Structures are given as C-alpha cells and as structure tokens.
C-alpha cells in the first residue's frame, strides 16, 4: 500500500451488521436464522476486501445487506463518511454501489438484448438525457469489458459463460459506481476464462478507481485479487488481515484449516502439505453453538469457548482475530 | 497388461445441428491401483470419456470407434448384458452432484442395499450388514441410525460419502469419480479427498478422477491426462505434467491459476474462448487460442509425440524445440502418416 495512512479514508464502513431471517417452524412459530450476526469492517477507497468462508457462512448475505437488497436487522452502514438511514440515502447509495452476481446464466434476462441489459440501470436512474447519449454510454461500457459493439443487439443465450459475466460487469458499471460487491463472480467459469475476468477486474479498478468487496470461496483467487481478506464462519467474522499476512500466518484455527485445505496445484507441495482436516460439518445457523461458533469443530476448544463469545481483537497491527486461545495456540 | 486399456475411443453426439465429436480419439492405460486424473475445461470431453467407458451415454450419443478393454475383455460392442456385469461390479462411478444422485423418496439404507442386492448374491440381512459396514468405512457416524434417514437429512459432504460407499460396496476394480468434490466446500473437499486417498490405499482399486481443478489433481493423481476439445493434448506422470508441461494449452492452464506468487501481478490467461465442437478446425484445435501457433499448427493437427517414457504431448512446439537435439521421437505410426501427408503438398 503506497498511500499514506492518514490519507486513506474508509469508503464503506459496516458497524455491527446483523441480518436475521425468520424461518417458519410451523404452527405459527418462527425462529430467527442469524445469517449475519454482528459483523464490522471497513473498506478503504480503491481497496479490494476479499470475503471468504464456506457455504452458509453469511458472506453473500453481508454483500446483499450492504446494498440494502435485504433490510438490515441491526447495525449501521456508512458510505463516504455518511450513515445510510433514509430511503433517499438508499436510492443515492445504489447509484454508487452495485453488484456482480455469481451465476452468469440466471442473472441476465434471456428476453433482453445486451444493450437493454446494460441500459436498464441507466433508465432506472435516468442517467442519460438522450437516446444518442444512452447508446454511446452502452457502447463505452461494452468496450470497458471487452465486448464488441456488434454484440449489442444479441441476447444473453448467444454468449459463453465468460462473456455473460462481462455483460453482468458492464451492467454493474453502468451507473458509474465507486463500489462494487462481487459475489463469486468467477466461480462458475473455467480456469482459462476465470483468469481473463480476474485481470479485467484488476484493470477496471485501476482505470475507474473502483472499490471492491470480493466474495468468493476460492482462496487462491481471493489471495490474488485482494488487499485484505476477511474470513467468516457461521455469520461471524473470525479473522481479518492483510492478504499476505493472513495467507502466510493465519492465526484463527478455522482460517488455518481453511487455508491448509486448499489444494495446491503443485504435486510436491501437495504431497508434503500437512492438511488440517476438520471433523464434522458446519452446524446449522438455526442451532448455532453457544459461545464461539467454531468450537464444535475446533481442535483447541475448551470449556471457556462454549461459555463466552470471543471478542474480535486486534492482535497485531491491522490483524483482527476472534479466538480466546489465539496467543496460546500460535 | 493394464487393467483398463482405452484405445482411440471416439464418441459422437448426433444433434440437429450435426455430429458433435465429443471424444475424438482418446487413448490411455490405467494400471491396477493407480490414480489417473483427467483434466480439462467444460466441453473438453472428460466426462463423456468416462460415460463412454461405462456406456451410460445420453440417447443421442454413441461410441463410433475405438476400443475399451477391461482386463483384456473388449467392452465396446459387448452388449448390455456384459455391461450390466461390469457396471457396479468392476467399474463404479460417482457423480459431481451428490444432491441429485440420490433418490429423495427412499432411505439411504434402502438405496445402499438395493445396489448391494442387485450386484451380489447377498440376502437382505447380509446386504444390510454390508451397507452398515460401508457407511462405517466412509466415516459416517452412527451408521445404523443413518440407514433409516432420507437424503435430505444429510449434508452435501455426507451425501458424497454415501455415494462413495455405494460405489465401493461391490469392491470394484475401478472407481470413476466425476468431479467428486466440485459441489463441496473446501474443508469438506479436503475430508472427501482424504477419504478417497485412504480407501484407495486400503482397497487397492484404481481411480479415474475427472476434474477441472489442477489442485485436486496434484494432490491425488499418479498420472494425468489433459484434454481439450475432445482430444488428449498431453499425458504423463503428475510430476512431468506439472513441472515440464509440453503442450501450449497445459502451459496456459498452469499460468492461469492464481497463486500466492501472482498476487499484485497480472495473470497471463489463455486468450479467446473454448472451441465450438461443431466447427472444428483442420489443424490443432487449440491453435486459434495459442499465442505461439505456427503455420503448421493451423494446417495439420499434431499427433501424439513421445517426450520421454513418462510423457507424451500433441504439440508442434516440441518438434521446434527438440528437432535439433533429436530428443523428440514421433511415434512410428503417426510419423508415417505425417510423411504421407507431406507428399500431397
């Protein structure tokens, strides 16, 4: 990071974000599913924060709740030093923050042409005064993501997965956002195409000064693209640090096992690699364990872990961990 | 003799748009107790290769040529009666999606026992015991209780364990695993890979592991086959493929994977998109995307070339690199075909 510390200002600040879904249990009873339970972090301008975790850990919900696709159950979302509170704030915020979805097949309307798909946000937010201007803007956006102008009149089904994802990215860029939530944008793509799209995210960031929240389960991809990485487990953040730091020196037992489980594309390293294989499955968020959510699978769990929730402490500069025994086990 | 010998296997799908050559001349051998990885992107024909070996192709698909020999016995054209004794007994398959591979209306126990009763002469009592034993083998806790449960009561990783238990219940010689961990989370993937490795060592079966994840291949496989557009572009031992890739496509794949070392730099992806199997070019199918394509690549398809005892690749770049040193030997049959081709020009 070349920027001076004091000059770096958070663009997005999340404070104690909570998102509970009510699950109908039958007989007029319902139970809250705590998809996100007290998550706080901030993302600086021009930075990429990687958010990793396994399915059901709440990473997608965090992304969607930030954009107010879900109404937050609790907590605050601050954008550029201002708290988002009213409906007008949300409307204004959505011009500055957009999303790229995981599945390039279901996130594009099959009955719309590429230019309609990319033009829709322009129409919704009334960003273009004339048809001419709208058309030029669409072609500019298509150029940003490496699509040809002759693609404009085609339908989404005529494109491959990688090209569809480009269309989705062009749509996200249409409102000229500062902040993009990328929800598993490359996990449905083949390796060779994935690399093309990752490079494109990089280039767009440099060119347009974008800030990303990059949600993914592929740790190699996240490590490549992110400045900092946050690890989530069962609706809570367990570790947050610089990408290199967390990758080389993970401190939380969950991050350790997650990283050791990543298959390394190198036979000699893979053979020598000592994997920390966790036993059991992720508990259901409906019946989350008491205390530390990871304790049921944690090799270091003690009585204390079942009794109280570990605080999310800064153990080294910029390195946050939620574990009671972080000092003993490292 | 190799346990499984696949020679020049060709499988096509006959669609309204024309013949799609999904597998176009694939040859490899699988030795007893070895793990063979087949890697490639979607549409490269890796799954169709497996389905052709098992002869479980969709109705539009047909094996149009080549041979598949199991223990010396020819399977292509052998007929459904023979295949019924092969499937499950000698070769088993597990699929990518453990969510849809199990019948949601039957208990796990009933589905496991069905497979066992069908393939062995065990009675219900013995089949039940075998099913419980298999569940225990794949580390399912409280197997007796689990036998009575339905698939929806199992998590993804647990369902894949059940699928593995089912596949191994009749002690097959070969287990084909078609993207067995793709639908699973990393920590669960690690569990399943560990389990497969451990079972492979205990039971000594051979595994064909089909995956797009080079990391999984590096972890498990002895030998690797890299496929592109229905053909094998490179095959060899895992070490050879990973440390001395000799096909431009394999090299491109290796470069495309982000690692800790690539952070902060640009990846060097393969340009373009995978080829349309309906419009196959005359030359190398990878040539349109290849940065180093030469004239000959566009004109003539490279045949399989021997790099060394453990390694072969179908790429003209090797001839360019090895022609002077004499290291590259084009295999005799192909070499003749090549000479024959040259006379025309």
Q: Do A275 and A214 sit in the same domain of this protein?
A: no
Q: Is residue A7 part of a domain?
A: yes
Edge to edge, the sheet with strand A236-242 lists A97-100, A179-183, A211-215, A48-52, A228-233, A236-242, A319-321, A313-316
Give pLDDT, residue A134: 94
How many angstroms away from the CA of B49 is the closest CA of chain A?
Answer: 19
Model pTM score = 0.85
CA distance A56 to chain B (A): 10
Q: Side-chain half-sphere of A153: how many Cα atoms within 13 Å? A: 1
CATH of the domain at A19: 3.40.50.300
Size of interface A-B (CB pairs under 8 A): 132
Other C-beta atoms lying within 10 Å of the C-beta of residue A86: 9
A286 and A173 part of one domain = no
Task: Answer whether residue A93 is part of any domain.
Answer: yes
A241 falls within a domain: no
Q: Is B198 on the interface with A (CB under 8 A)?
A: no
Residues A64 and A191 in one domain: yes
Q: pLDDT digit string (tens) for B267-326?
A: 888 888 888 888 888 899 999 999 888 888 999 998 889 899 999 999 998 887 765 455
| A154 and A18 part of one domain | yes
Look at residue A238 and tell me if it is in a domain: no
Closest chain A residue to the Cα of B188, Cα to Cα:
A281
Following DSSP, what letter does each residue of B74-103 receive, concatenated? E-TTS-HHHHHHHBTTTEEEE-S-TTTSS-
Structural domain includes residue A240: no
| Residue numbers in A near B192 (CB within 8 A) | none
Question: CA A177 → CA A12, A72, A181, A241, B336, distances in Å?
Answer: 13, 22, 11, 26, 61
Cβ atoms within 10 Å of B119's Cβ, excluding its own: 20
Q: Which of A260, A265, A275, A299 to mutate to test the interface with B (most CBs of B within 10 A)?
A: A265
A321: which strand partners? Answer: A239, A313
Clarify whether residues A77 and A132 are in a common domain: yes
Confidence of residue B131 (pLDDT cuts 50, 70, 90): very high
Rounded to whole angstroms, what are the CA distances from A320 to A4, A40, A233?
21, 11, 14
Go through A220-251 and write b for each residue having 16 or more CB atoms within 10 A of its CB, e for each that does not: bbbbbbbbbbbbbbbbbbbbbbbbbbbbeebb
Domain end point (choices A193, A226, A259): A226
Q: B150: which DSSP letter? A: -
Whole-number Å distance between alpha carbons of A141 and A154: 16
- pLDDT score recorded for residue B336: 40
Do A266 and A217 share a structural domain? no
**Residues paired with B210 in a beta bridge:** B38, B178
Neighbours of A110 (CB within 10 A): 9
pLDDT at A131: 92
Nearest to A277 among B191, B262, B266 (CB): B191
Residue A90 Cα, gap to closest chain B Cα (Å)? 33
Residues of chain B found within 8 Å of residue A264, distances taken between Cβ atoms: 215, 218-219, 259
Task: Report the chain B residue with the minimal C-alpha distance to residue A226.
Answer: B263
Mean pLDDT of B192-218: 91
State how many domains chain A has: 2
Residue in A249, A250, A253, A206 with CA at minimum distance from that of residue A225: A206
- Integer Cα distance of B274 and B88 in angstroms: 34
A63 within domain boundaries: yes
Its domain, for residue A166, covers: 3-226
Please tell me whether residues A77 and A170 are part of one structural domain.
yes
Q: Which of B277, B239, B184 is nearest to A218 (CA)?
A: B184
Residue A231 in any domain: the answer is: no
Tens of pLDDT, residues B67-124? 999 999 999 998 899 999 999 889 999 988 877 889 999 999 999 999 899 888 899 9
Q: Are residues A80 and A218 in the same domain?
A: yes
Same domain, A79 and A135: yes
CA–CA dist A206, A195 (Å, integer): 17
HEC-encoded secondary structure of A237-268: EEEEEEHHHHHHCCCCHHHHHHHHHCCCCCHH
Paired strand residues for B29: B5
Cβ separation of B186 and A262 shorter than 8 Å? yes
Res B342 pLDDT > 50: no
At residue B231, does pLDDT exceed 90?
A: yes
Tokens representing residue B100 in the block: 């849809």
Could you say which of A190, A263, A277 has the minimum Cβ distance to residue B219? A263
Domain boundary among A210, A226, A242: A226
Token pair in block for residue A233: 């487990």
* B334 band by pLDDT with thresholds 50, 70 and 90: very low
CA B174, CA B92: separation in Å to the nearest integer?
Answer: 6
| B169 neighbors B130 (Cβ within 8 angstroms) | yes
| Alpha carbon distance A125, A137 (integer Å) | 14
Find all residues with CB under 8 Å of B343, minimum gap 6, and list them: none
pLDDT tens profile B38-51: 999 888 999 999 99
A183 and A257 assigned to the same domain:
no
- The answer to whether residue B340 neighbours chain A at the CB level (below 8 Å) is no
Chain B residue with Cα closest to A198 = B267
pLDDT tens-digit profile of A70-111? 999 999 999 999 999 899 999 999 999 999 998 888 899 999
**Interface contact flag, A281 B268, Cβ < 8 Å:** no
Q: Which of B152, B157, B181, B190 is the mutation pick for testing A, counting most A CBs within 10 A?
A: B190
Instruction: Look at residues B252, B264, B246, B253 and name the one whose alpha carbon lies nearest to residue B217.
Output: B253
Query: Taking every pair of C-alpha atoms in chain A, what is the biggest distance, in angstroms?
Result: 68
pLDDT higher than threshold 50 for residue B341 = no
* A65 belongs to a structural domain: yes
Residues B178, B211: contact at Cβ < 8 Å? Answer: no
Residues in B closer than 8 angstroms to A265, CB to CB, are 214-215, 217-218, 242, 254, 257, 259
Written as tens digits, the pLDDT of chain A (330 aa) is 444 444 567 999 999 999 999 888 777 788 888 999 999 999 999 999 999 998 888 999 999 999 999 999 999 999 999 999 899 999 999 999 999 998 888 899 999 999 999 999 999 998 989 999 999 999 999 999 989 888 899 998 888 888 899 999 999 999 999 999 999 999 888 888 899 999 999 999 999 999 999 999 888 899 999 999 999 999 999 999 999 999 999 999 999 999 988 888 888 888 887 788 888 778 888 888 999 999 999 999 999 999 999 999 999 999 999 999 999 888
A214 and A302 inside one domain? no
A153 and A212 in a single domain? The answer is yes
- SS3 for A231? strand
Confirm or reject contact between A246 and chain B (CB < 8 A): no
Q: What is the pLDDT of residue B328?
A: 52
Inter-chain CB proximity B186 and A54 less than 8 Å: yes
């Amino acid at each position: 990071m070349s920027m001076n510390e004091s000059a770096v200002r958070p663009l997005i600040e999340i404070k104690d974000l909570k998102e509970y879904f009510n699950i109908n249990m039958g007989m007029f009873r319902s139970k809250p599913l705590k998809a996100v339970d007290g998550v706080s972090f901030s993302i600086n301008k021009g930075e990429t924060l990687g958010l990793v975790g396994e399915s059901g850990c709440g990473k997608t919900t965090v992304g969607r709740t930030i954009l107010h696709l879900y109404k937050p159950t609790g907590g605050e979302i601050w954008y550029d030093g201002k708290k988002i509170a009213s409906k007008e704030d949300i409307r204004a915020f959505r011009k500055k923050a957009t999303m790229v979805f995981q599945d390039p097949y279901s996130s594009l309307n099959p009955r719309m042409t590429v230019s309609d798909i990319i033009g829709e946000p322009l129409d919704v937010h009334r960003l273009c005064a004339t048809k001419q201007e709208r058309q030029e803007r669409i072609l500019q956006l298509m150029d940003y993501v490496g699509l040809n102008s002759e693609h404009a009149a085609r339908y989404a089904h005529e494109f491959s997965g990688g090209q569809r994802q480009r269309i989705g990215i062009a749509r996200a860029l249409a409102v000229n956002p500062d902040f993009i939530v990328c929800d598993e944008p490359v996990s449905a793509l083949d390796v060779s195409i994935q690399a093309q799209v990752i490079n494109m995210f990089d280039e767009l960031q440099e060119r347009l000064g974008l800030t990303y929240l990059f949600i993914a389960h592929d740790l190699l991809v996240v490590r490549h693209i992110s400045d900092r990485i946050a690890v989530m487990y069962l609706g809570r953040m367990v570790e947050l640090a610089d990408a290199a730091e967390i990758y080389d020196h993970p401190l939380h037992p969950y991050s350790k096992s997650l990283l050791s489980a990543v298959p390394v594309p190198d036979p000699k390293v893979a053979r020598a690699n000592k994997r920390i294989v966790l036993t059991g499955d992720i508990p259901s968020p409906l019946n989350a364990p008491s205390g530390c959510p990871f304790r049921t699978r944690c090799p270091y769990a003690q009585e204390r872990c079942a009794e109280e929730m570990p605080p999310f402490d800064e153990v080294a500069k910029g390195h946050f961990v939620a574990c009671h025994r972080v000092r003993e086990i490292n | 003799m190799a346990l499984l010998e696949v020679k020049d296997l060709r499988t096509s799908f006959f669609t309204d748009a024309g013949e799609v050559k999904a597998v176009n001349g694939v040859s490899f051998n699988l030795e007893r107790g070895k793990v063979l990885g087949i890697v490639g992107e979607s549409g490269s024909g890796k799954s169709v290769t497996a389905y052709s070996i098992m002869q479980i192709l969709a109705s539009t698909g047909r094996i149009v040529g080549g041979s598949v020999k199991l223990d010396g016995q020819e399977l292509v054209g052998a007929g459904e009666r023979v295949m019924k004794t092969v499937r499950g007994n000698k070769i088993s398959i597990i699929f990518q999606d453990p969510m849809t591979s199990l019948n949601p209306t039957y208990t796990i126990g009933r589905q496991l026992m069905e497979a066992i009763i069908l393939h062995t002469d065990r009675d219900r009592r013995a089949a039940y015991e075998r099913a419980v034993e298999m569940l225990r083998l794949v580390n399912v806790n409280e197997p007796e209780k689990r036998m009575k449960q339905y698939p929806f009561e199992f998590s993804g990783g647990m369902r894949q364990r059940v699928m593995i238990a089912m596949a191994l219940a009749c002690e097959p010689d070969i287990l084909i695993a078609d993207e067995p961990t793709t639908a699973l989370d990393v920590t669960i993937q690690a569990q399943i890979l560990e389990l497969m490795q451990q079972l492979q060592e205990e039971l000594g079966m051979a595994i064909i592991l089909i995956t797009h994840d080079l990391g999984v291949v590096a972890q498990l496989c002895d030998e690797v086959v890299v496929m592109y557009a229905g053909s094998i572009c490179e095959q060899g031992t895992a070490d050879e493929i990973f440390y001395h890739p000799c096909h431009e496509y394999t090299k491109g794949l290796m470069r495309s994977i982000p690692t800790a070392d690539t952070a902060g730099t640009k990846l060097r992806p393969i340009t373009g998109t995978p080829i349309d199997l309906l419009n196959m070019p005359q030359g190398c199918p990878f040539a349109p995307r290849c940065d180093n394509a030469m004239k000959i690549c566009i004109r003539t398809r490279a045949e399989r070339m021997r790099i060394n005892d453990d390694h072969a690749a179908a790429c003209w770049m090797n001839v360019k690199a090895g022609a002077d040193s004499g290291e590259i030997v084009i295999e005799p049959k192909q070499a003749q075909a090549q000479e024959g081709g040259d006379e025309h020009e």
